[in-house]
Amino acid sequence: MAVVKVGKLLAWVISFVMMTSSSYFGDAADDHNEALGASFVFGDSLVDAGNNNYLPTLSKANMRPNGIDFKASGGNPTGRYTNGRTIADIVGEELGQPHYAVPYLSPNSTGKAVLYGVNYGSGGGGVMNATGRIFVNRLGMDVQVDYFNITRKQIDKLLGASKARDFLMKESIFSITIGANDFLNNYLLPVLSVGARITESPDAFVDDMINHLRDQLTRLYRLDARKFVIGNVGPIGCIPYQKTINQLNENECVELANKLAIQYNGRLKDLLAQLNENLPGATFVLANVYDLVLEVITNYDKYGFTTASRACCGNGGQFAGIIPCGPTSSMCQDRSKHVFWDPYHPSEAANLIIAKQLLDGDRKYISPMNLRRLRAL
């Protein structure tokens, strides 16, 4: 959920630290075992593992103290928009994959490394191509699928056509975490969207999103993707940025933003049911990120947090929610006690709770099956 970055960020993005970490046990080895499967990760800054490091963009996280708890890089920033691992990183580890999915734009996303999975996520990206244009550059979902098409051909060369098809259909999981920016950095962004909102109702905008996503998921299916997990849009009205700029109290959220997310999420649920029925052999799993994150925010103390409103790393306003995390930001002393790492993204501690529910939870948060069951299909 990368959002408009202001003030001192323009100075920070001049630094271009090309540090990514593709593995947690060293470089990808030649003795890859296809039976371990792969994670192909699509989405926005919630899952970006470093792609935006290689783009001339205003949406970057490759500056300290981002990544301060990311052990694979020794605490150095990798381009992940959190203090440690993303949800996609944690899920990959738990499902037995010995390497993180390598960022598609990184120089080491070649050869057998792609058999551990590839991450196409991009801070600022959305379902709609216009989403995130305020950042100058980002990879939208259409472009991410285009890039997977290139990876698909590489896998054919590595494994042979028949084995590659089996590998993708039976041993690989395709995760899609996208949609928040389509509201935060498109429909709800005053600088860019006033005209659009005059001519397009929320219903029509959500319709456009669903139609685009249907096409994108169907394209992946035609490229032999079969096991899908799609996250819905979280409670974007409750992030520190939204609370700060709207001058809300600690227990309040922005009603319009959450209402749009709920509207989209209802349509997404219907879409995935249709795709499960109409695309033979495919399994589309819905991750109910909205209810899961709202539960953590509402009952944060039950999960060991001391705040679900204030960003651990950031500056500006009551909740440190205006200027993104960077070298001059204030930072909390105990990062494990904050639901939010920065004005927009969860901390690793929160990501661990979310990932655990997606891996092993019941249908309240992940349906029709959790990710361990999906992996075993």
The candidate with the shortest Cα–Cα distance to 234, out of 201, 260, 267, 213, is: 260
> Is there a contact between 276 and 219 (Cβ–Cβ < 8 Å)?
no
The residue annotated as part of the active site, out of 212, 224, 342, 347, is 342
Residue whose entry in the numeric block shows the structure tokens 């598609």: 104
Burial track 169-183 (b if 16+ CB lie within 10 A, e otherwise): eebbbbbbbbbbbbb
The residue annotated as part of the active site, out of 99, 212, 338, 345, is 345
- Is 32 assigned a catalytic role? no
Helix (H, G, I), strand (E, B) or coil at 296: helix
Instruction: Using the Cα atoms of residue 333, residue 335, residue 339 and residue 340 in order, give the sign of their dihedral.
Output: positive
DSSP 138-164: ---HHHHHHHHHHHHHHHHHHH-HHHH
The residue annotated as part of the active site, out of 21, 45, 122, 172, is 45
- Is 109 assigned a catalytic role? no
- Is 342 assigned a catalytic role? yes
> Is there a contact between 145 and 216 (Cβ–Cβ < 8 Å)?
yes
Residue type, 337: K
Residues belonging to the active site: 45, 342, 345
